[in-house]
């Protein structure tokens, strides 16, 4: 007799295990199987009880260890079996499953195949990494809105964004996965008339002990990021609120590190 388990599409946040939701931790403790992405931090994986089956399907830009269609089918296969094989599966994804996480694609596939699922939101990188970098996404008088965009498209196709709409001085732009296309993004915004002195920061491994920040503006940030040899995952924040980072630092407690990160940045 065939029976069906359940898939939980769980957001793990950007890295700091303290940002896991209560529901996410609860599900990790009771899962039969955890299927996890590359960006899930080792500290969070350490919270999975011993004996729980773990399956890595980690993907890096341009190097997909497991293609998305195979991940979709894997989730179905893990859930559907005989009475002794149906499992509770946690699909653990970095950040939030529905913010550039392809969680909705997986949910649609599960729905089409009659597999029950639940979505557990996570703290998305835009909110967490910016806060740990001392950068508010909105601030009265500086920014009244936020735009989330991705720095690369499916199969590395050319970026097709509404650059005119994005070049709004009264909004903050957050770019996910924008390391490889940072120069093109800054150039496109400049071409739409955005102020070259607009503050910007690139954040590597935000919320973790490996966090690094590179500050600059639309003209200087690409070169500084290249010289600093930042590596993915990198989140980029562009807008006036970045200029507050020097006063709102709380995560980086070493003043010498703060001074080094901000050295030469024209907006500080």
Which residues are catalytically annotated? Answer: 37, 59
Are 242 and 143 in contact by the 8 Å Cβ rule? The answer is: no
Alpha helices, H only, 168-267:
182-191, 221-228, 245-248, 255-262
Are 202 and 214 in contact by the 8 Å Cβ rule? The answer is: yes
Choose among 24, 10, 2, 1: nearest CA to 76. Answer: 2
Cα 177 from Cα 37, distance rounded (Å): 15
Which residues are within 8 A (CB) of 27 and not within 5 positions of it... i.e. 6 or more apart?
A: 8, 10, 88, 90, 120
Tell the burial category of 261 from Cβ atoms under 10 Å away from its Cβ (0-12, 13-18, 19+): buried
Cα 98 from Cα 114, distance rounded (Å): 20
């Amino acid at each position: 007799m065939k029976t069906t388990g359940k898939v939980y599409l769980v957001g793990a946040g950007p890295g700091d295990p303290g940002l896991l939701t209560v529901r996410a931790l609860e599900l990790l403790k009771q899962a039969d199987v955890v299927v996890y992405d590359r960006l899930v931090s080792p500290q969070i994986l350490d919270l999975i009880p011993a004996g729980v089956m773990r399956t890595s399907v980690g993907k890096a830009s341009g190097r997909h260890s497991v293609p998305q269609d195979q991940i979709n089918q894997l989730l179905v296969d893990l859930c559907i079996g005989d009475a002794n094989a149906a499992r509770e599966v946690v699909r653990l994804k970095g950040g939030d499953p529905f913010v550039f996480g392809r969680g909705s694609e997986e949910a649609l596939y599960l729905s089409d195949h009659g597999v029950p699922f639940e979505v557990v939101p996570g703290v998305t990188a835009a909110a967490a990494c910016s806060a740990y970098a001392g950068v508010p996404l909105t601030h009265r008088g500086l920014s009244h809105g936020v735009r989330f965009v991705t720095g690369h498209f499916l199969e590395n196709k050319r970026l097709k964004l509404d650059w005119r709409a994005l070049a709004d001085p009264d909004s903050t732009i957050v770019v996910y996965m924008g390391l490889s296309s940072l120069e093109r993004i800054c150039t496109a915004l400049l071409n739409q008339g955005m102020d070259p002195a607009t503050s910007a920061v690139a954040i590597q491994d935000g919320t973790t002990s490996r966090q690094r920040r590179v500050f600059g503006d639309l003209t200087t940030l690409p070169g500084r990021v290249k010289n600093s040899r930042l590596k993915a995952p990198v989140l980029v924040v562009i807008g006036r609120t970045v200029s507050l980072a020097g006063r709102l630092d709380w995560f980086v407690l070493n003043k010498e590190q703060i001074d080094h990160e901000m050295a030469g940045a024209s907006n500080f």
